[in-house]
Structure 1
Amino acid sequence: MQGSRIFMISLFVISACTAVFSEGISVESSVYIKALGIYLLFACLYYHLRIISRNGNTSIDYGINYSLSIGLFTGPLGLLIFEVIYRFCVYFYKKHTKTEDPDEFFHTFYNIGSFVMSNSIAFYLFHLLSPLFKGVPFGFWVVMLLLITVTSLLSDLFLITVFKLTGDIKTKVEAIDFIKTRSVLDMGKIAFTNGLLLLFLKEGKWEMLISLFILNYLVSRSFLSKSQMLQNKIERDKFEQMAYTDFLTGVFNRAYMDKKMTELNQSDESLGIVVADIDKFKRINDSYNHAVGDQAIRHFADTLKSYLSKDDYLFRSGGEEFTIIMRFRTYEECLNLAQKIRKGVENSPFQADFKEESISISYTASFGLFYYSVNDLLSIEKAYVYADQLLLQSKEMGKNRLSSREEPAYLHRPAEAVLTNA
């Protein structure tokens, strides 16, 4: 931590000396004050449009930056004055709102130093390269792209040095991966925007300058609003998924089953409601432990899911009990599939770690299937009760069985039961 602070202060001191011992502000005082006021105003407006990313104990603000254009226009000293005023405005704002980092004071000096140093180098490169590209088509824009590339790389190198000193980056691979996170499209946008601003500054087109700032602000604000809306939707979807997902197995939980049943009650589908339960599950817990029992439940859920289509639903409706809603199938198809699943469970043992050994455990399951067409007289909740009763019947008849019942479409009462275990 001490090493990173020394680096931050050293970078500031070197950049300040570079600026102070430069040729001074390269434009008239009145022009500089006008440009400084406009840049400070919009820099403060743009501040809340930044994106914050954390790397270890340090937060990085990715925002709109136009230091290159004012640096090229006024020289390193003019840039230093702008950065000092702006960065300390940000510092006092963070202190006031209690959003500062633990090392915010040192980060302020680092931000001033890094931007002044990188853009001061760009200032001298600009005057060196401009004559060479004077006769080249779009030579000015080529130079701007080169300058943004240089300042971006310098900025990344400064940050990598800080992260290396704080221990947040330990290897060359991590450093290279950090550099790769920079967006080429963003670099292009910054190059062309700073180029236009520089041209407007040189020609004294203040209205065009302000208009470009306003346009960038409105566009950035619009994209930020859309990004926040999208992020909020993603978070809502994520929370909803968490609310409706069983954490042990990853399948839908009982809450989602109730929700989906309510929706299906409004349909006119023919459904196969299957309730399945692991046989003698308590014996697994007692013979081994609850961790092995959890593995049995996960294996059971995975086995059930492997037989279902994307239109079917699988829910964990109880401890070791699962409910399946089979859709778009005839009664015979549901019956055959349920029987296939039962046999699949019986013939697919799972591996578990117990007492430092890997053991293979077999188990069976019992099933109850109730098939009917959704109608006003028989809700899906009631159909689930019938399926659960059929499961109980399978248990009473010796387990590892499938008991099924169909309600014909023209009837509103259950037909005779069919018991199978073959």
Structure 2
Amino acid sequence: MWRARIFDFILFFSALAIAVHSRSLEVHTNLFLKALFLFWVFSTLYHHLRVVKKTGSTNVDYGISYSLSFGIFAGPLGLFIFETIYRFTIFFNRKRTKTADPEEFWDTFYNIGSFSLAYSAAYYLYNLLLPFFEPLPLGFWILLFLLVVVSSFLIDTFLICIFRILGDVNSVRDALDFYKSRSLTDMGKTALTNGLLLLFIHDAEWGTLVALFLLNYLVSLSFYSKSQSIQDKYERDKFEQMAYTDFLTGINNRAYMDLKIAELSQTEEYIGVVVADIDKFKSINDNYNHSIGDQVIRHFTKTLKNYLNANDSLFRSGGEEFTLFLRNRSYSQCVDLVERILRGVENSTVEVEFASEIVSISYTSSFGLYFYKISDQVPLEKGYIYADHLLLESKQDGRNRITAVNGCVDAGKTVLVNN
């Protein structure tokens, strides 16, 4: 961390040296103070709309910066004054609201130095290249866009140096990926905004300048609100997914099964309710360990999923117990499917590492299948209970078998044994 702090101060004092070397402001003091106040107010106001992205251990703020136009207008000294006032305003505001990072104070010197250096370079390039671009059609705007690209490259380079010191960037590819994260659309927006600000401030059109700041703020606020809504929805969906997903297998859990039962209970469709589990699963845990047992459960899950289609549902309803809802099938089709699953499980093995050796584990499974038409008299919850009882019969009758009942006709039980 101390090397990062040294780099921060190298940037800061380099920017300070350039500011002092420039000796004076590029504009009259009264004009500078008016512009400084406006840029400070709206930059501070706009700051909470910036997008923050976590890169390794560092937070990176993205958003439109007004420093390019102010730097070209006021020169390196004026730019350094603006960046110092603005960055420390943000720091003290974050301290006040208790949102400051632990290293926020030292990072403030980095922000002052990096932005002052980047936009001071843009200032010198602007004065050097303007005579060449001015005669060209849209030459001013092409030059502004070029300056945004150059200053963005410099700022990204400073960040990459920090990331390299902190260990967040470890290869050339990482650095190139960071450079590529810049959006040409965002750079074009920055060039347009700063170009208009520069034109208005040179002509001292204060009303138009304020109107542009307000327009930019309102547009940014709108985009920020939409972005927050999308982020909030994503987080809600992610939380819901976590709440309804089994952490071991990645399929839906019992809580989601209860929701699905409530949903399907409103229908009157024919459905095959299957409850299945792994035979003698406790002996697998006892003979090996629970980690091996988890691998067997995941293998069983994958096997079950391979036989299902998009209309079917699979849930982990207990430790090694799973529930399947088979839809849009006849009774005989449900029986045939479960029989194929039964055989598929018995004929497969799980390759695991145990005691520094690769071990093949074979296992079997048992199933209870209840097929019927959902109704008010027999809701899906009751159909699940019937299927669970049929699974128990399969276990009691010797395991590795299916016990099935067609609840739509009085046909008794069907017992299929995998011999």
- TM-score band, normalised by shorter chain: over 0.9
Query: Where do 1:282-297 residues align within 5 Å?
Result: 282-297=282-297
C-alpha displacement of 1:132: 0.5
- What SS does the corresponding residue of 1:5 show, helix, strand or coil? helix
C-alpha displacement of 1:4: 2.3
C-alpha displacement of 1:81: 1.6
Alignment of 1:31 onto 2:23:
no
Task: Select which of 391, 409, 412 maps to 1:416.
Answer: 412
Give me the whole-angstrom Cα distance separating, in 2, the residues matched to 1:161 and 1:315: 49
C-alpha displacement of 1:171: 3.0
- CA deviation digits over 1:266-321, x for unaligned, max 9? 11211100011111222222222222221111111110111001111111111111
Give me the whole-angstrom Cα distance separating, in 1, the residues matched to 2:25 and 2:148: 22
C-alpha displacement of 1:170: 3.4
- Structure 1 runs of 4+ off > 6 angstroms? none
**Partner of residue 200, structure 1:** 200
Give me the whole-angstrom Cα distance separating, in 1, the residues matched to 2:247 and 2:57: 31
Alignment of 1:150 onto 2:150:
yes
C-alpha displacement of 1:95: 2.2
Given the two structures, how large is their TM-score scaled by the length of structure 1?
A: 0.95
**Partner of residue 79, structure 1:** 79
**Partner of residue 213, structure 1:** 213
C-alpha displacement of 1:139: 0.6
C-alpha displacement of 1:233: 1.1
- CA deviation digits over 1:86-126, x for unaligned, max 9? 11111211222233233322221221111111111111111
Query: Where do 1:367-378 residues align within 5 Å?
Result: 367-378=367-378
Letter in 2 for 1:363: Y
C-alpha displacement of 1:61: 1.9
- CA deviation digits over 1:323-351, x for unaligned, max 9? 10001111121111111111111111111
Alignment of 1:136 onto 2:132:
no
C-alpha displacement of 1:415: 4.5
Asked whether the equivalents of residues 80 and 116 of structure 1 are also in contact (C-alpha less than 8 Å), the reply is: yes
Letter in 2 for 1:191: A
- What SS does the corresponding residue of 1:301 show, helix, strand or coil? helix
Give me the whole-angstrom Cα distance separating, in 1, the residues matched to 2:109 and 2:396: 77
Asked whether the equivalents of residues 58 and 101 of structure 1 are also in contact (C-alpha less than 8 Å), the reply is: no
**Partner of residue 20, structure 1:** 20
Query: Number of paired residues?
Result: 418
- CA deviation digits over 1:238-258, x for unaligned, max 9? 111111111111111111111
**Partner of residue 179, structure 1:** 179
Given the two structures, how large is their TM-score scaled by the length of structure 2?
A: 0.95
Asked whether the equivalents of residues 405 and 417 of structure 1 are also in contact (C-alpha less than 8 Å), the reply is: yes
Give me the whole-angstrom Cα distance separating, in 2, the residues matched to 1:395 and 1:107: 65
- CA deviation digits over 1:190-246, x for unaligned, max 9? 111111111111222222221221111111111111111111111111111111111
Query: Where do 1:243-254 residues align within 5 Å?
Result: 243-254=243-254
Gaps of 5+ in 2: none
**Partner of residue 43, structure 2:** 43
Percent of matched pairs sharing the same residue: 54
Give me the whole-angstrom Cα distance separating, in 1, the residues matched to 2:320 and 2:163: 49
- What SS does the corresponding residue of 2:134 show, helix, strand or coil? coil
- More deviation in 383-392 or 180-189? 180-189
Asked whether the equivalents of residues 391 and 402 of structure 1 are also in contact (C-alpha less than 8 Å), the reply is: yes
**Partner of residue 63, structure 1:** 63
**Partner of residue 114, structure 1:** 114
**Partner of residue 405, structure 1:** 405
